[in-house]
């Protein structure tokens, strides 16, 4: 009887404990989770195909994957801050997140241009390799940590066009005195060969060409250039885009806001950004040729290739300008330059017998 009594008491205590744990678990499961409401500012006009719609898609994916726990509202250039003030706005915590391109901040962080594009630099495929598996992303985050920012790759257009010109380019002399919208290190190279570089946000390009503020402009490629109507203000469309072979776009997050997020929401933001990075490149690959055919066949645009001697002259200047970015005694800047250059040399060597060899063999 004593044994049976002890057993009965033990079973009763176990049942009570289980019920208590179940009640505690049910209470925990039903507790409301914190909702984060963020603002993202961008350097692009609202809903511009590709560049402008990509951050919207990224925000939608985050909202769905987080079941609404992280709600990001996206603003186009000028809606909250001007296009070229995105970096400062996120760094200072005015907003939690931004989308743009690192070469827009070259006045503040010159070496950041390696994380978007440098003249005759890496293609989109090569940039992804350096960023995700070649040490580039770790260096980028080390650099941006100085500015209270956390960067994530979030978009790439692939090789761009050399730009729109109101006169033919047959020699280097034809570049002399031209006023061209061209940002980043490409603009410095353009000035070194005799032109004047002007950094304008996308929304100001058409009017600036139309009114003669600039004589030429590079923007992106056929998909976006057709949407902007640049064929209405320039006749000649030149390639290849020596200045931007694979420009990586960025999500930048204010560091305090990032550290406040739970780890699962951080993972969701990373995943959505990298998915957008791949999706944008696929979108431009699918859309550019159709847009180019419309520009040439329907709008009479004259498609031209820059002469070889012009490209060679630009390349020589570009190599010198790129090396200048590593000058000085900043050890991190030197590590970024050395990592990029070492990776570039290796990937070019391999692509000679892979990507380039295949494309040459395939022909037209």
**Do the Cβ atoms of 231 and 301 come closer than 8 Å?**
yes
So where are the chain's domains?
36-158+247-285, 163-245+297-344
CA distances to 149, 256, 274 from 97, in Å = 9, 11, 15
* pTM to 2 decimal places: 0.89
Tens of pLDDT along 1-41? 454 444 444 544 445 454 444 444 444 445 578 999 999 99
Domain spanning 163-245+297-344: CATH 3.40.190.10: yes
Question: Residue 133 pLDDT > 70, yes or no?
Answer: yes
Average pLDDT for 211-224:
97
Average pLDDT for 302-317:
97
Average pLDDT for 271-285:
98
Same fold, 36-158+247-285 and 163-245+297-344: yes
CA distances to 38, 217, 258, 261 from 254, in Å = 11, 32, 6, 11
Q: What is the CATH number of domain 36-158+247-285?
A: 3.40.190.170
**Do the Cβ atoms of 161 and 248 come closer than 8 Å?**
no
Determine the number of helices (DSSP H) and then strands (DSSP E) in the chain. 13, 11
The per-residue pLDDT for 31 is: 56
Alpha carbon distance 158, 229 (integer Å): 20
Confidence of residue 364 (pLDDT cuts 50, 70, 90): confident
Alpha carbon distance 125, 97 (integer Å): 25
Tens of pLDDT along 145-191? 999 999 999 999 999 999 999 999 999 999 999 999 999 999 999 99
Alpha carbon distance 149, 107 (integer Å): 17
Average pLDDT for 87-110:
97
Nearest-5° angle of CA 252, CA 254, CA 256? Answer: 150
Q: In the chain, helix, strand, coil percent, each to 5?
A: 55, 15, 30
Mean pLDDT (the chain) is 92
Task: Respond yes or no on whether the N-terminal peptide bond of residue 357 is cis (omega within 30° of 0).
Answer: no
């Amino acid at each position: 009887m004593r044994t049976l009594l002890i057993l009965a008491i033990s079973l009763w205590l176990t049942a009570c404990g289980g019920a208590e744990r179940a009640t505690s678990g049910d209470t925990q499961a039903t507790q409301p989770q914190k909702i984060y409401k963020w603002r993202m500012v961008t350097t692009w006009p609202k809903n511009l195909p590709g560049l402008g719609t990509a951050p919207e898609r990224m925000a939608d994916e985050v909202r769905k994957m987080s079941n609404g726990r992280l709600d990001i509202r996206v603003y186009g250039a000028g809606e909250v801050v001007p296009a070229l003030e995105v970096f400062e706005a996120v760094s200072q915590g005015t907003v939690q997140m931004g989308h743009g391109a690192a070469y827009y901040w070259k006045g503040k962080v010159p070496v950041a241009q390696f994380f978007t594009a440098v003249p005759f630099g890496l293609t989109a495929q090569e940039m992804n390799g350096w960023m995700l598996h070649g040490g580039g992303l770790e260096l980028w985050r080390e650099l941006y940590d100085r500015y209270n920012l956390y960067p994530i790759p979030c978009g790439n257009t692939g090789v761009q066009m050399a730009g729109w010109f109101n006169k033919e380019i047959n020699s280097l002399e034809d570049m002399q005195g031209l006023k061209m919208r061209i940002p980043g290190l490409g603009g410095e190279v353009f000035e070194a060969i005799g032109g004047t570089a002007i950094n304008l946000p996308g929304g100001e390009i058409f009017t600036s060409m139309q009114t003669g503020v600039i004589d030429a402009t590079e923007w992106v490629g056929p998909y976006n250039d057709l949407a902007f109507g640049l064929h209405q203000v320039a006749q000649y469309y030149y390639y290849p885009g020596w200045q931007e072979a694979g420009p990586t776009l960025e999500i930048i997050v204010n560091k305090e806001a990032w550290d406040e997020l739970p780890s699962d929401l951080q993972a969701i933001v990373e995943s959505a950004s990298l998915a957008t990075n791949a999706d944008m490149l696929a979108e431009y690959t699918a859309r550019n040729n159709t847009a180019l055919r419309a520009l040439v066949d329907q709008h009479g645009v004259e498609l031209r290739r820059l002469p070889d001697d012009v490209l060679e002259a630009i390349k020589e200047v570009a190599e010198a300008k790129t090396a200048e970015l590593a000058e000085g005694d900043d050890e991190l800047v030197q590590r970024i330059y050395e990592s990029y250059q070492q990776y570039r040399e290796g990937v070019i060597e391999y692509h000679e017998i892979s990507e380039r060899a295949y494309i040459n063999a395939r022909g037209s």
